[in-house]
């Protein structure tokens, strides 16, 4: 921020609503200027966002500004910035009073390059928890981007605060599922915009936020957004039609776990039906595979019993025999012929015998995943554990995704015929960039 701009700001030194004395300008955005202000009675510092004078007489701008305050106050979650007041003063200045945060936004952190995998996943997880709370309250953010993810510190670790619900969609019994404006405008930031928003589809749901968070996590892991272009229209086209490179291919240094890469790519599926159904599912997928509770409940007692038996054996008292007896003559061991067949030696050294499932699709080239882990494109041979149920998923651009539940017991084959999607006729694209 230039010192001259701060010095010339007319609100520095003013008192908003007779209660909030403006100390300094701390940020400028498209929907307002943010100041640090001190409550004249309490002496507590707050962040105050003021709607610019040029927008105060525009109903759409006022509605969007008020929407931010309404959305944030409806969600009571630690990872969403707290709004404490929304008011106007005698000068007809409309302002929102929020908690004052100390730290940096994710965009500034990303200016230094990709983040460590653990750090990136933790930021995504906290952001997902905040958005799940918003979705539970019937609110879709629709403009998630690194600038709206603020990183403060708590107990020496990054602590996320999600900001700016200005273009969020609120479902209410009175208004149903309203749009922000009366015209079909492209909303959201082009670098992280969902395919449905890029195509101008008016009705979107919470899965548009899942896509945006997938894009942001992709950038945190690789240091670059999934798509780039010379202008907004190129970005809109790529988000709507092109598949991203796997993060592991884009990143040259990070060792991205397969389950994290699989979760990112699923979150960024073109069809909302192919994404995670909820933010909670996305966050769970980022944690990776977990040991079933039954394995713990059986394994721990067995381990304890083995330890107790071992200690008892070591401490058991021994006595010399009263007289030496002649040992019995051992019977000769039966002669067995050594076999090269692993199946015949499995009793000595158990070996998991994998079952091969040959999978194919019509048309070919569909992405195949097993229990969420990508295994390649059809035709492909899957090595599965016999008797263990698995979910095989087929995904192909332009076709409906299909799932098959299999319990393999012997080598077999699976052929799936994919059905084409029926897409509504796209509406003309208008932008407000």
**Which residues form the catalytic set?**
143
CA distance from start to end of the chain: 23
Q: Which two tokens stand for residue 85?
A: 């007041």
Distance (Å, whole) CA 19 – CA 38: 8
Distance (Å, whole) CA 168 – CA 133: 14
Place of tokens 């492209």: 186
Phi, psi (5° rounding) for residue 104?
A: -145, 155
| Contact between 198 and 236 (Cβ < 8 Å) | yes
| Contact between 125 and 264 (Cβ < 8 Å) | no
> Is 173 in a helix, a strand, or coil?
coil
Dihedral (C-alpha) 183, 189, 191, 196: value to the nearest 10 degrees? -40
| Contact between 431 and 425 (Cβ < 8 Å) | no
Helix or strand run (H / E) with residue 305: helix 293-315
For 260-273, b/e burial (b = at least 16 CB within 10 A) is bbbbbbbbbbbbbe
| Contact between 170 and 138 (Cβ < 8 Å) | yes
């Amino acid at each position: 921020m230039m010192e001259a701009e701060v010095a010339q700001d007319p609100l520095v030194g003013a008192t908003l609503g007779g209660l909030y004395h403006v100390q300094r300008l701390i940020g400028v955005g498209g929907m307002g200027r943010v100041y640090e202000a001190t409550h004249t009675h309490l002496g507590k510092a707050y962040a105050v966002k003021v709607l610019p004078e040029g927008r105060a007489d525009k109903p759409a701008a006022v509605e969007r500004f008020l929407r931010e305050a309404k959305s944030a106050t409806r969600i009571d979650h630690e990872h969403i910035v707290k709004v404490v007041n929304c008011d106007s003063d005698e000068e007809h200045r409309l302002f929102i009073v929020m908690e004052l945060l100390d730290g940096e936004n994710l965009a500034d952190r990303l200016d230094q390059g990709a983040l460590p995998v653990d750090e990136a996943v933790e930021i995504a997880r906290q952001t997902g928890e905040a958005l799940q709370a918003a979705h539970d309250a019937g609110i879709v953010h629709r403009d998630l981007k690194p600038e709206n993810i603020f990183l403060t510190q708590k107990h020496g670790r990054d602590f996320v605060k999600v900001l700016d619900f200005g273009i969020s969609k609120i479902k209410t019994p009175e208004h149903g599922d309203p749009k922000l404006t009366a015209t079909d405008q492209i909303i959201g930031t082009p670098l992280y915009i969902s395919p449905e928003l890029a195509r101008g589809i008016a009705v979107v749901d919470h899965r548009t936020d899942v896509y945006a968070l997938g894009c942001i996590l992709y950038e945190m892991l690789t240091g670059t957004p999934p798509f780039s272009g010379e202008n907004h229209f190129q970005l809109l086209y790529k988000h709507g039609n092109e598949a991203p490179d796997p993060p592991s291919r884009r990143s040259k240094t990070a060792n991205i776990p397969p389950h994290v890469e699989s979760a990112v790519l699923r979150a960024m599926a073109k069809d909302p039906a192919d994404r995670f159904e909820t933010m909670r599912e996305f966050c769970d997928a980022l944690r990776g595979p977990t040991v079933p509770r039954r394995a713990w409940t059986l394994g721990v007692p067995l381990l304890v019993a083995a330890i107790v038996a071992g200690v008892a054996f070591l401490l058991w008292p021994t006595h010399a025999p009263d007289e030496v007896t002649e040992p019995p003559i051992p019977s000769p061991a039966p002669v067995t012929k050594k076999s090269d067949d692993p199946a015949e030696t499995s009793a000595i050294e158990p070996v998991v015998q994998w079952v091969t499932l040959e999978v194919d699709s019509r048309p070919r080239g569909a992405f195949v995943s097993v229990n969420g882990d990508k295994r390649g494109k059809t035709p492909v041979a899957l090595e599965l554990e016999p008797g263990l149920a698995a979910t095989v998923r087929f995904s192909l651009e332009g076709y409906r995704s299909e799932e098959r539940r299999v319990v393999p017991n012997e080598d077999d084959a699976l052929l799936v015929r994919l059905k084409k999607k029926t897409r509504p006729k796209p509406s003309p694209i208008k932008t407000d960039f």
